[in-house]
Each structure stands twice: as C-alpha cells, then as structure tokens.
Structure 1
Amino acid sequence: MTDRRAWAAIASFPPHPKNVRHARRITRTALAAWGAPELIDSAEMVVSELVTNALRYGSGPVDLTLALTDRTLRIAVADEGTSLPAPRDAASDAQGGRGLQIVELLADSWEVVVRLTGKTVTCLLTAPEMQAPEIPAANPVHLQGRPGSPRRSQGELRE
C-alpha cells in the first residue's frame, strides 16, 4: 500500500436492517478495488457494528463514509439520532451489546462528534505492515495468514 493516492466512498441509505449487509458489501468492494485487502475483514466488521448501532439507536438516514490514505482507513457513520454510543458490559449469554467493544478492539481510535442534526461516529484503522515482522535468528518461526498478521503458526521452525 505504498504510493497510493487518497480514495473515498460515500453512501447514504434509509434506516432499514438490510442496509447493514449493503454497507458491508460497499466496504469490501471499495477496499478490494483500492488494493487494500488487508483491511477488509476488520473494516467490514467495524462498519457492520457502527451501521447496526445507527439503525438501532439513531434515526433518519444513515451515511457511511470510507476514506483511505496511505495505510489509514477512516470510517464514519452518521445518523440523525441524539442518543450517544457508550460501550456496555454484555452478559456472557447476551445476543447483543458488544458492538462498541468490537470497534474498540479493531480500531486504533474512535470518537463521536455531535452535530446540530445528529451525530457521527468515526474510527481509524491502520493497515498492518506489508512485510512480515523481523524474527530473531535464534528462534525463526514460520508466519501464516495475511502479511503483517500477528498470528503465528504453532511453531514450524526452520533450521
């Protein structure tokens, strides 16, 4: 993801539950077209949670903005509701209540901006490094997964 120009996508849709799926599809399609596949899974999950919250607790149309520059993706979801998002402690058997916890886990940062006609929840995601992290020569480990992923295999050692 080097030498990239800035990219942006903006969508606005009525407050209907099926539009969560459309927002995920917009996110996946845009990031694939922009050459940022390493951001797709996290961005799609964050968009899903933010749009779901806008539909559940907000009002009016939902606006989604995706803006990618270099290695940073800015996701903004706006609605006309007045209730502000707040992380909750969901019971272990609860079917909901973890949306903002997921956003906090996946995003580098997030914030809420109150506007005259509602609010905008914005978060930033940073793409992992394109190169695998350096591994000390004494303990080389084979990395699996997408480039820059912190997940390691169960210890396939190389001599």
Structure 2
Amino acid sequence: MDNDPETAGDWEYTLQVPCDPLAPCIARRTLRTIFQEHGFPELADIAELLTSELVTNAYRYSDGPASVRVRREGPRVRVSVWDTNPKLPGLGIPGQPAVDAEQGRGLKLVMKCADSWGGFALRDQPQGLTGKLVWFELGAG
C-alpha cells in the first residue's frame, strides 16, 4: 500500500453513526486512523477536533442518524457531516460564549481552523434525503 501523500491516489470513507452520545468519540477515533494511515498525521489533530464538533452538533440538534464522509481529492481532504435536521446553524450571533459555557464554540473553531468550510440544507432530494450537510477542507500533501 502506498502511504506517501505525494503519490497516493484519491480515496473516500463513509461512517454511519446513530443518534448516540458515543458518536463524536467514534468519529474522532475513525478520523484519526484514516489520517494517520493515509500519511497525514500532521492533519489528524485538527481533523479529529473539527469532526468531533460537527458530529456533536448533529447529535445535539438532530433526532436521527448522521454520517461522516472523508474524501481526498488531490491536495485536499474534505470532511462532510450529514444529519437529519435541515436547519443550518446560526453563524451571525454577535459576541462570544461565556468562559464557562459548555457550547457555542464548535462552528467558530471550524471557521478558524479549516482551510474552507460550508453547509447547505437538503430538501426534496430525488433520493428522499433531507437534513443538512456541513463540511470543511484541510490542505494535504
């Protein structure tokens, strides 16, 4: 197997997770393994953190399963998290969360740490898929 990021081809993994409090932990561990095994250990920490934030949001604000897709295309790796809630998170809320707040920082971390990111609602898709997809990209190679 070719683990050299410069010569390895594109790849994709999908992880299905239930609406379960263990989902963020399972997603973190899976992402770390993918990034390390594919020769991107320098991106593993940030990918793990940002994925954990998105999967935690999926668990907190959705009442169904979620899926995590990790895809390398050329020099970039994109991580997408789909959940069943079509409502996109509010990003225009002024101010910072209180120092002792237990939530409110996840998307700000994604905005600050990812090379690019975005999200969109899924409604009336031909496959019957509804909900939302939030993604981020990190440079690789």
TM-score (norm 2): 0.85
Per the TM alignment, residue 71 of structure 1 is displaced from its structure 2 partner at its CA by 2.7
| Structure 1 ranges of 4+ moved more than 2 A | 86-89
Q: 2:56 pairs with 28, 52, 55, which one?
A: 52
Q: Distance in 2 between matches of 1:46 and 1:29?
A: 15
Out of 6, 12, 21, which is 2:25 matched to?
A: 21
Aligned residue identity for 1:30: I
Kindly provide the amino acid, as one letter, of the partner of residue 119 in structure 1.
K
CA distance in 2 between counterparts of 1:82 and 1:69 reads 27
**Aligned residue number for residue 106 of structure 2:** 99
- The match for 1:146 is none
How many positions carry a matched residue from both structures? 128
Identical aligned residues as a percent: 38
Query: Shift of residue 124 of structure 1?
Result: 0.8
> For the residues of structure 2 that align with 1:20 and 1:85, how far apart are their CA atoms?
18
Q: Secondary structure at the match of 2:70?
A: strand
* Preserved contact between residue 20 and residue 51 of structure 1 (Cα < 8 Å): yes
Q: Secondary structure at 2:81's aligned position in 1? A: strand
Larger-Rg structure? 1
Structure with the larger RCO, 1 or 2 (CA within 8 Å, 6+ apart)? 2
Unaligned runs of 5+ in 2: 124-129
Q: Hey, what's the Cα distance between the residues in 2 that align with 1:65 and 1:110?
A: 14
CA RMSD of aligned residues (A): 1.4
